[in-house]
Amino acid sequence: MGFEKGEIPYTGKYSFEADPELATKAALAVSQFIMGSKVMQGRICTGDQFINSDEQKDTILSNFGGLCCDMESGAIAQVCYLSDVPFVIIRAISDKADHSASMDYDEFEPIAAERSASAVMYMLGIL
């Protein structure tokens, strides 16, 4: 018994769609607090590896067309899907897996946490 590349085991699916209303409200909330940063909406690729090379990144993005890669978002989406709970994922990206990060993680983390918390609180107010 095998699964195709990218197939989510025992679901027959290759991706989970965020709730459109939540995605719209998340984009609005994020735009209020992330001035000067790039805000994007789209697919997040999730796997069981830390992506830290151009080769890994290029393979994943060419096969699955995601905007970024992480190790958590797919699990969150799958649990929500199986529980019939609408969801949206908001990510703050610290690096492009290509050694071009403008700051290190220790510097990035408190900024991302503050902005993310502000965006989530704003979003809760408009739900």
The CA-atom distances, in angstroms, between 38 and each of 76, 91, 94 are: 23, 12, 12
CB 52 within 8 A of CB 122: no
For the chain, the first-to-last Cα distance in angstroms comes to 43
pLDDT digits (tens, 9 = 90+) for 68-103: 888 899 999 999 999 999 999 998 877 666 666 567
As given in the structure block, the two tokens for residue 118 are 């502000």
Q: What is the pTM of this model?
A: 0.81
From the number of C-beta atoms within 10 Å of its C-beta (0-12, 13-18, 19+), residue 24 rates as: middle
Q: What is the mean pLDDT of residues 55-68?
A: 87
Report domain extents, the chain: 39-126
